[in-house]
Amino acid sequence: MQVQFITGFPFDPTSPIRHTADSTLMITHPFDSKRNVMNPSIKHLTKKLLSGDWYKLYKYSFQYQQKNGQWQAQQREAYDRGNGATVLLYNLEKRSLILTRQFRLPTYINGNPNGMMVETCAGLLDGDTPEDCIRKESEEETGYQLGPVKKVFQAYMSPGAVTEIIHFFIAEYQPHMKTSDGGGLEHEQENIEVLEVDFDKAFSMIHSGDIQDGKTIMLLQYAKLELFKKA
């Protein structure tokens, strides 16, 4: 396997991992978003592909400069599944939300007895813009064709191990926007249940443990602060 070390600029800081053909792995310096420059405390970054069966798991080796100025050799593993987007569908008049419910294997093998998760609609970008992604995913998963949408923030969801950035959106829905039953795509083996839930009920599901999905909790907290404020 050929490994190519790249020190050049510019590159998209929201997607810092660069891939070419399977025989070539492109390496870029990490991006320091706080200072908007490459991190000078990192050098000699290389990576090795450990698994590419579904997404890609890499082992990274690099030199990290400590506070005393000395350089320390370190290794980390990082899982690259691309970036994603999620959207909370809400109706202010009804004080309701559209959520989904589906089986999630990783939760099933880590303490979730039935593996079912209640979530906001979401998907991987797969080359789309974040807004195009959530429009497509909303129609596929929930059956709602969205009107205006608003991006409210973005976040690394598991920065110690996964490269993924999630783009968070909100969008108001009305009954006339529903164009199908949703449920996901059969060829992607999706079996998604569409839920219309009262906001206060959904928010209480965080405390009861019926909602344990991180992105959903974040959007529910946002909605509590910004959308469904009580007098």
pLDDT per residue, tens digit, the chain (231 aa), is 334 333 333 334 444 444 444 433 444 445 555 555 688 999 999 999 999 988 999 999 999 999 999 999 999 999 999 999 999 999 999 999 999 999 999 999 999 999 999 999 999 999 999 999 999 999 988 999 999 999 999 999 999 999 999 999 999 999 999 888 665 655 554 678 999 999 999 999 999 999 999 999 999 999 999 999 863
CB atoms closer than 10 angstroms to residue 48 = 14
148 in the same domain as 56: no
20 in the same domain as 116: no
134 in the same domain as 48: no
Q: Which of 28, 59, 80 is the last residue of a domain?
A: 80
190 in the same domain as 154: yes
* Backbone phi and psi for residue 93, each to the nearest 5 degrees, phi listed first: -65, -45
Q: Which of 16, 51, 80 is the last residue of a domain?
A: 80
What is the 3 state secondary structure string of the chain?
Answer: CEEEECCCCCCCCCCCCEECCCCEEEECCCEECCCCEECCCEEEEEEEEEECCCCEEEEEEEEEECCCCCEEEEEEEEEECCCEEEEEEEECCCCEEEEEEEECHHHHCCCCCCCEEEECEEEECCCCCHHHHHHHHHHHHCCECCCCEEEEEEEECCCCCECCEEEEEEEECCHHHECCCCCCCHHHCCCCEEEEEEHHHHHHHHHHCCCCCHHHHHHHHHHHHHCCCCC
pTM for this model (two decimals) = 0.82
13 in the same domain as 108: no
- Does 113 reside within a domain? yes
**CATH for 149:** 3.90.79.10
pLDDT at 23: 35
pLDDT at 174: 94
- Mean pLDDT, the chain, rounded, equals 85
